[in-house]
Structure 1
Amino acid sequence: MSFDLIIVLLLLAAAVAMFALNRPRMDAVALLMMTALPFTGVITMNEALAGFSDPNIVLIAALFVVGEGLMRTGVTHRLGDWLVSRSARSETRLIVLMMIVVAGIGSVMSSTAVVAIFIPVVLRIARSTSTAPSRLMMPLSFAGLFSGMMTLIATPPNLVVNGELVRRGYEGFHLFSITPFGLPLLAIGIAYMLIARRWLTTPVSIERPGRPRPHLSEWIEEYGLAEREYRLRITSRSSLIGKTLQDLDLRGSSGMSIVAIERSGRFANRFIRPEASTQLQAGDVLFLDLFVPSTDIDEFRRRFGLEKLPLSGTYFSDRSQEIGMAEVMIPSGSPLIGKTIIEARIRSQYGLTVIGLRRGSEARGKSLLHDKLQLGDTLLLVGRWKQIRRLQMGGKEVILLDLPAEIDDAIPAPTRAPHALLSLAVVIVLMVTGAVPNVQAALIGCLMLGMFRCLDLDSAYRSIHWQSIVLIVGMLPFSLALQKTGGVDLAADALLGMAGDTHPRIVLAAIFIITAALGLFVSNTATAVLMAPVALAVAEAMQASPYPFAMIVGLAASCAFMTPVSSPVNTLVVGPGNYEFSDFVKVGVPFALIALVISVTLIPWLLPF
């Protein structure tokens, strides 16, 4: 063992110790190692920084952007809603469905891509079900790793092993050659995570730091909004067709305000801003606020030919992804002082409807339209989130006091969901067919999302989880350092030395253990590159079929459960799940042993020596 190898191993041990203690945080440890390794002389500073130009790093960053585009257009929200509805608020059923869906989608595209896309979905589910994200993020990463065992194209290590077989003159694996091994591991992995989730009780606040934001339900109760809401559809025989809101003057004539209008679009329904010039059409759904209790809503509906639609949430709270609220205050010097709500023309100015007025601690509902506004009055506004966000830019008329917690679930571009799905479909097709490199496919998807206005550059940059990027880049130099100092060759020679007369199953187990051990610190793709030739050489030395030995490398490379740096899939969930190094050890090591037993049992049965 050379002196250089000893130094590299000591640095590696120091990194592992700091990871285990979680002092300092993991991305800081990665930066320390990236700075320290060039001092050994084994690698240069340029080689230590080479990870920033690694296509896989760019791919991961691009996939964060793709995930953000799906989130901003509501695709992930709808998928999360489907998972929640199917799970009936059962955490057990939720984990089962989530892992099956992620593993299924990951079988035809990058597992890293799938996990990056599902992170916002899982965070939203955790928020809506009041579940600690730590109980869901680890199952998500496990499912991402299992997806690599579903098909040949699911993960690079599979392709590396298959390529080594072909280079040595053997027939390669078929698309579903790995599936018979992956499906049992997925089923057992799901059962295992239903038990192991109890070990993941990291306390995580799913609210932002600082004073907790109010929820819409609190304002609905505080301002007495319950039973004031109605959803009415304009039928084909309605006399409102073709009329503008200015013509109707519903506030003055009927004591009601139009909060929003839902109109059928080409691909999906969309909410439009109610303005004086808005012309009503057949099929439009009016979201009405009835602030005068004496108004006969049934008589109004019959008179104008409207159809009453059911409500599934108190005061449109079931539409909180599109419709929101905000509290504003009348400041000193505001031109609104002394005017009534109608005279203030707040809807014309901000595109929002006043549905509540509070003076001191008293909410004034019945006299809402007729009271003259005073200094310090608090108004509750309702409308589309796009208009509500504009209140944050400030103004002399009103001061924004508070926004509800539901703003985090708002969908900025709901009408762009079909475009986001088209962009994702293009990325998947390009990745599956191999028409272009994966990183180029992801960048094409990012450009399409921008072209379709699913997101802007600012939101794209904010979506990238830089802590994960730095952690991966900082640990990549260890792979090169171990190769240069002969650390990997040393392990390979030891494996070849033990082949001898040992039973093939024991050799398979040894290959699995060494591959998984290397994967603790080296990317699983690099591990497959290093171990595939060794495994095939052992098979030839034993005069055995190469396929069991190639398969064990592919499976072991995907069993990167044991540390957060074993795979980018694990690294991605560290921040959102608030995990420490020890969380992966206590959950991943037992299952890696289970996977070892299953693999050594199944492989000789399905792929005889």
Structure 2
Amino acid sequence: MSFEQIALFVLIGGVLVALLWGRFRYDLIAFAALIIGVTIGIVPADTAFSGFGHDATIIIALVLVVTAGLLRSGAIDIVARIAVDRTRSLTAHIAILGGVGAALSGFINNVAALALLMPIDMQAAQKAARPPSVTLMPLAFATILGGMLTMIGTPPNIIIAAYRQQVTGEGFAMFDFTPVGAACALAGLAFIAFGGWRLIPQHKENQAKPDDESSALYTAELVVNEKSRAIGQVLRDLDPEADEHDCTIVGLVRRNKRLAGRARREKVKKGDLIVIHGSPDALNALAGALGLSLQGKSGEQAELTPELAIVEAIVASDSRIVGRTANEIQMMRGFGVSLLGISRSGKAIKERVRRTPLQTGDVLLLLGNEDTIENAITSMGCLPMAGSIPVVRHEKAWAAIGLFGAAVAAGAFGITPLTVALGAVAVLYVLFGILPVRDIYTSIEWPVVVLLGSLLPVGMALETSGGTAILAGGLAQVAQHLPPWMALMAVLVVTMTLSDALNNAATAVIAAPVAYGLAQLLEVNPDAFLMAVAIGASCAFLTPIGHNNNALIMGPGGYRFSDYWRIGLPLELIIVAIGVPAIMIFWPL
């Protein structure tokens, strides 16, 4: 071996050890490895930062942006109302959502399938007050497994079909991968749903908190607009919907007067205000479900724009607004700020929200322009709480869904690369007011981008230096002395191992010629060995860098580098145990 090859093996080995150790941030380790590689001359300087422009890195960033747009538009609420049932057990939730993800991945890019379902899963986790890490990794693995079902489900299958066309004159058909892929996917899904998720470590810093701990409960008045499906319904009949979204309906306002009691038997009319008690997220979700609107400065329906933000602020003891009502505070109007709700010791307020004298310790839910709302809070003598709450624009939901669906279709049918399609969606989300420009940057998990952008050039250097060819050649030398079924298993295991450290498409390109040549040497059916490469290249579950979907969930799930192998290792063993017999049945040696 040359110095370059030895140095690359040592560098990659050191990176894996450091990442598994977990003492330092994974993005720092990856970037340091890239700089070391360039410094000692084993990574070409002119390609050092090519990983940041690689399709895999760009797709990860754009998918996170599109996901933020789907959340901000309320599109996820629509899908979640259909797909999420809080009465389901965790096993049923993982099995159903994972099954949907696997089925989608057979026909659309599996990154796109995960992008569609990931926010739904995170919303379900929030409602159930459980860490998102419990279900995000099973969902990501399910979408990876589903990619094996068809030729277009994952890049390795396309590469293997093209290679067979090259060497035999006839490629694999669309569903030639289905029998073996379905067997592996079903076995993998069963393991994940019926106990595999229990192997995922739960880190205390990533524990989800119930809504009543993470945010105050507010009494708010939401406007019944002309499109609301609450119109004509008796108020008490809306209780089941409110309960589903963790809210309580506590009254009705008509013609600027709050009706007596809770107005349980009144029919809702256009222009009414429904008084609701719940957390900001719950209020947003219920507003989307019933077609209700936020109040503006004048008490009418607010005109939502991307520049608006919802902020929580505490009334301090020396605040100039103590004892005054929102209607009396002229500075709110001067700054273009409106009061959406009041939280007072978690109890529902029985008066009109805007006519309620404010007290020390009240938490206000304010709507206003992001550039001026902080000045308004300071002028009122209040204390702003950290962060802001997204303004969900439910009227943009179907536009967001349509644009995302068009992008997925364009990528799936080869009309345009998925990177271009997702980039166009991000731009259109901004132009159509679905996503503020500021959220383009804040929605991206930059440490994951640095991780991928740094390690991809190192992996490419290993390939161009001949290091991967050395690994493949060693496999051929060992496997040619084994019985055919053991040689088949060796090809599957080695391909799977390479895919955990390299890009799955690159792994398929490298392993396909080796597997085909080995089959000819053993005088057995080469199709079986090519299928082993297809399965092995797709099944990368040990590291976050083995597959784009693994990297995509790392930030939102709060995972560490060493978390993946705990469920990934037994899953890969199951794939080997199921995959080898399945290949021998459907593609006899």
- Class of the TM-score when normalised by the shorter of the 2 chains: 0.7 to 0.9
Q: 1:13 Cα shift? A: 1.4
Aligned to 2:41: 41
The reply to whether residue 431 of structure 1 matches residue 424 of structure 2 is no
Q: 1:594 Cα shift? A: 1.3
Contact 2:313–2:365 (8 Å) recurs in 1: no
Q: 1:528 Cα shift? A: 0.6
Q: 1:327-364 CA distances to partner (integer Å, 9 max, x unpaired)?
A: 55378684x67866554468866564587697x99999
Query: For the structure 1 residues 170 and 600, does the alpha-carbon distance in structure 2 shift closer, same or farther, using more than 3 Å as the test?
Result: farther
Give distance in 2, aligned partners of 1:430 and 1:436: 6
Give distance in 1, aligned partners of 2:7 and 2:259: 84
Aligned length: 546
Give distance in 2, aligned partners of 1:299 and 1:36: 70
Q: 1:502 Cα shift? A: 3.9
The match for 2:581 among 582, 596, 601 is 601
Q: 1:107 Cα shift? A: 2.2
Query: For the structure 1 residues 287 and 464, does the alpha-carbon distance in structure 2 shift closer, same or farther, using more than 3 Å as the test?
Result: farther
Matches within 5 A, 1:114-513: 114-193=113-192, 194-205=194-205, 215-217=215-217, 259-265=221-227, 288=252, 295=260, 301=266, 318-321=282-285, 322=287, 326-329=312-315, 334=320, 342-344=327-329, 352=338, 377=360, 381=364, 391-395=373-377, 398-401=380-383, 408=389, 410-498=390-478, 500=480, 502-513=482-493
Query: For the structure 1 residues 399 and 117, does the alpha-carbon distance in structure 2 shift closer, same or farther, using more than 3 Å as the test?
Result: farther
Q: 1:260-298 CA distances to partner (integer Å, 9 max, x unpaired)?
A: 213244xx8799xxxxxxxxxxxxx99735999993776
Contact 2:277–2:348 (8 Å) recurs in 1: no
Q: 1:2 Cα shift? A: 2.6
Query: For the structure 1 residues 199 and 596, does the alpha-carbon distance in structure 2 shift closer, same or farther, using more than 3 Å as the test?
Result: same
Give distance in 2, aligned partners of 1:432 and 1:425: 10
Q: 1:43-82 CA distances to partner (integer Å, 9 max, x unpaired)?
A: 3122222112222322222222111111111122333344
CA root-mean-square deviation: 4.1
Give distance in 2, aligned partners of 1:315 and 1:572: 28
Give distance in 1, aligned partners of 2:446 and 2:546: 18
Aligned to 1:91: 90
Query: For the structure 1 residues 206 and 264, does the alpha-carbon distance in structure 2 shift closer, same or farther, using more than 3 Å as the test?
Result: farther
Q: 1:391 Cα shift? A: 3.9
Query: For the structure 1 residues 295 and 575, does the alpha-carbon distance in structure 2 shift closer, same or farther, using more than 3 Å as the test?
Result: closer
Residue identity in the other structure for 2:224 = E
Query: For the structure 1 residues 270 and 170, does the alpha-carbon distance in structure 2 shift closer, same or farther, using more than 3 Å as the test?
Result: farther
Query: For the structure 1 residues 270 and 60, does the alpha-carbon distance in structure 2 shift closer, same or farther, using more than 3 Å as the test?
Result: farther
Give distance in 1, aligned partners of 2:369 and 2:533: 55
SS at match of 2:169: coil
SS at match of 1:261: strand
Q: 1:453-512 CA distances to partner (integer Å, 9 max, x unpaired)?
A: 211221111111111111112211232232233222222223333454643222211111
The reply to whether residue 70 of structure 1 matches residue 32 of structure 2 is no
Give distance in 2, aligned partners of 1:553 and 1:569: 20
Contact 2:250–2:276 (8 Å) recurs in 1: no
Q: 1:542 Cα shift? A: 3.3
Shifted more, 146-155 versus 315-324: the winner is: 315-324
SS at match of 1:519: helix
Aligned to 1:110: 109
Query: For the structure 1 residues 33 and 333, does the alpha-carbon distance in structure 2 shift closer, same or farther, using more than 3 Å as the test?
Result: closer
Give distance in 2, aligned partners of 1:178 and 1:361: 56
Contact 1:216–1:317 (8 Å) recurs in 2: no
Give distance in 2, aligned partners of 1:192 and 1:89: 18
Q: 1:238-278 CA distances to partner (integer Å, 9 max, x unpaired)?
A: xxxxxxxxxxxxxxxxxxxxx2213244xx8799xxxxxxx
Contact 2:315–2:364 (8 Å) recurs in 1: no
Query: For the structure 1 residues 535 and 124, does the alpha-carbon distance in structure 2 shift closer, same or farther, using more than 3 Å as the test?
Result: same
Aligned to 2:243: none
SS at match of 2:149: coil
Q: 1:590 Cα shift? A: 1.7
Contact 1:562–1:588 (8 Å) recurs in 2: yes
SS at match of 1:10: helix
Aligned to 2:54: 54
Aligned to 1:274: none
Residue identity in the other structure for 2:588 = P
Query: For the structure 1 residues 18 and 327, does the alpha-carbon distance in structure 2 shift closer, same or farther, using more than 3 Å as the test?
Result: closer
Q: 1:604 Cα shift? A: 1.8
Contact 2:332–2:376 (8 Å) recurs in 1: no
Give distance in 2, aligned partners of 1:361 and 1:168: 70
Give distance in 1, aligned partners of 2:261 and 2:422: 56
Give distance in 2, aligned partners of 1:56 and 1:369: 50
Aligned to 1:559: 539
5+ residue gaps in structure 1? Answer: 221-228, 230-258, 272-284
SS at match of 1:394: helix
Q: 1:546 Cα shift? A: 2.8
Q: 1:530 Cα shift? A: 0.6
Contact 2:252–2:259 (8 Å) recurs in 1: no
SS at match of 1:168: helix
Aligned to 2:305: none
Residue identity in the other structure for 2:22 = N
Residue identity in the other structure for 2:462 = L
Give distance in 2, aligned partners of 1:106 and 1:299: 47
Identity of aligned residues (%): 24
Contact 1:102–1:147 (8 Å) recurs in 2: yes
Shifted more, 514-523 versus 340-349: the winner is: 340-349
Query: For the structure 1 residues 559 and 312, does the alpha-carbon distance in structure 2 shift closer, same or farther, using more than 3 Å as the test?
Result: farther
Query: For the structure 1 residues 130 and 530, does the alpha-carbon distance in structure 2 shift closer, same or farther, using more than 3 Å as the test?
Result: same
Give distance in 1, aligned partners of 2:326 and 2:61: 48
Give distance in 2, aligned partners of 1:370 and 1:493: 79
Aligned to 2:19: 19
Aligned to 1:8: 8
Matches within 5 A, 1:570-585: 570-585=550-565
Which one has a bigger Cα radius of gyration?
Answer: 1
SS at match of 1:154: coil
Give distance in 2, aligned partners of 1:99 and 1:320: 27
Q: 1:205 Cα shift? A: 4.0
Query: For the structure 1 residues 548 and 264, does the alpha-carbon distance in structure 2 shift closer, same or farther, using more than 3 Å as the test?
Result: farther
Contact 2:258–2:352 (8 Å) recurs in 1: no
Q: 1:395 Cα shift? A: 4.8
Query: For the structure 1 residues 540 and 372, does the alpha-carbon distance in structure 2 shift closer, same or farther, using more than 3 Å as the test?
Result: closer
Q: 1:559 Cα shift? A: 0.9
Residue identity in the other structure for 2:155 = P
Residue identity in the other structure for 2:380 = V
Query: For the structure 1 residues 551 and 393, does the alpha-carbon distance in structure 2 shift closer, same or farther, using more than 3 Å as the test?
Result: farther
Q: 1:188 Cα shift? A: 1.9
Residue identity in the other structure for 1:398 = M
Q: 1:433 Cα shift? A: 1.0
